[in-house]
Amino acid sequence: MKILKYTLSILLVLAAFVGCTKDETRIVFDPANVVASTITVPQAIVLNETTKGENLPAFTWTAAQFGYDAAVTYVVELGLQGANFAKVRVLGSVNTNKLIIKQSDLQAALDFLGATLGQQQAVQMRVKASIVDQIAPIVSQVITFNVTTYMPAEKEYAKVWIVGDYCGWNHANSQFLYDIAGDGKYFEGWVMFDGKAQNGFKITYTGGWNGDDIGTNAAAVVNNKIKVEPGGNIGLFNGILMYLKLDNRDQSNRTLELINSLTRIGIVGSATPNQWGSPDIAMTFNPATRVFEKKNVTLAAGEIKFRANDTWDISWGTYDASAGKNPNQLTTANGKNITVAAGTYDITLNLNKVDPTFEVKPVNQ
């Protein structure tokens, strides 16, 4: 009886195994059956900061085919035209035949890729279809289309007004010190007094004479600082272009410090007549526009930077693309050279900002 039971059990197991083997379908991947996706080429895209949170029209493509039914994952990649996808930004990964992203996502992708913001840029897109790691993705055709990015608005900082004889005591023409850290403790920045600082100036916390102005009653500068409080005009600092820092932490013991003083701003570089040597191309200050400028300057094809006093103690160049700044914003921390084509330009530099800005504008354009 026991032998019979064991025999029946073995037969049942064998029957089950044979049944599974008959029902099983073996799938073999054949590259000859592969069909890549075809992307629908979009119309030219114009991005706008006011609508950056809105969705773009969907990017769409046909389904990739692997020769049998399988769940497909699509990865959408973007690159700059001519770069052959040496640097790629993934726009998204989906399991459907379309991808919807916001304007801000496409703007961020182009910024990451190093596109010049505020201009039209030709870009390339491709879609990679995958099913399992063991099978290489199927890559679609590469499409090209144009995207016009926007120049992001500059970050707003709290500020105090520096108003005095240098600007005709007019708040509308004044320059500012900025709360760079955003905590109200310090306000700082470059102010172009053009030698008129000793004629007197005051600090106000609003853009008018609203009873919040502070000056000084100090008789001398001590360690480059003076105490500032309700009082007379500040006339103890003497300089052309000065970097000032207001210590605002203690309302009863505020100080104003002279951090640096410059006499000259110039343009230097391989595109200039003296190349990287001095003297630089001197820029003059325009009190009406509150920027340094040099009009009708002829440059060769090459590079330029801005620097002070014909030395490399302080110089300004552009940010690296990874910093997330606008291409017209400048930094003193290892700033990059600015590439220019041969031609005649009007060049401006605005130093009275947290991130100084510049413009190299071709004449007659």
The pLDDT assigned to 29 comes to 63
Alpha-carbon distance of 60 to 39, in angstroms, equals: 6
The pLDDT assigned to 282 comes to 98
More confident residue, 3 or 169: 169
Helices (H), 147-305: none
Domain formed by 31-148, architecture: Sandwich (2.60)
Question: Is the pLDDT at 14 greater than 70, yes or no?
Answer: no
The pLDDT assigned to 151 comes to 86
Q: 56, 203, 188, 76: which is closest to 130 by C-alpha?
A: 76
Residue 262: enclosing H or E segment and its boundaries? Answer: strand 255-262
Question: Is the pLDDT at 13 greater than 90, yes or no?
Answer: no
Question: Is the pLDDT at 20 greater than 70, yes or no?
Answer: no
With a CB cutoff of 8 Å and minimum separation 6, the contacts of 34 are 64, 65, 66, 67, 138
Confidence of residue 7 (pLDDT cuts 50, 70, 90): very low
Question: Is the pLDDT at 136 greater than 70, yes or no?
Answer: yes
Tokens of 332: 């003193």
Assess contact for 252 and 270: CB atoms under 8 A. Answer: no
Question: Is the pLDDT at 265 greater than 50, yes or no?
Answer: yes
pLDDT in tens, 169-186: 999 999 999 999 999 999
Mean pLDDT across 123-127: 97
The pLDDT assigned to 298 comes to 97
CA distances from 94 to 62, 142, 325, 347 (A): 13, 18, 30, 47
Proportion of the chain above pLDDT 90, given as a percent: 81
- 45-46 and 143-148: which strand pairing? parallel
Which fold would CATH assign to domain 265-362?
Answer: Immunoglobulin-like (2.60.40)
pLDDT in tens, 64-91: 998 878 899 999 999 999 999 999 999 9
Assess contact for 79 and 114: CB atoms under 8 A. Answer: no
Fold identical between 31-148 and 265-362? yes
77 C-beta neighbours (distance < 10 Å), count: 19
Mean pLDDT across 8-17: 39
CATH class for the region spanning 159-262: mainly beta
Tokens of 79: 């690159």
The pLDDT assigned to 27 comes to 58
The pLDDT assigned to 117 comes to 85
Query: Domain-by-domain residue ranges, the chain?
Result: 31-148, 159-262, 265-362
pLDDT in tens, 26-60: 556 677 778 999 999 999 999 999 999 999 999 99
Mean pLDDT across 268-291: 97
The pLDDT assigned to 19 comes to 44
The pLDDT assigned to 232 comes to 96
What is the pTM assigned to this prediction? 0.70
Confidence of residue 3 (pLDDT cuts 50, 70, 90): very low
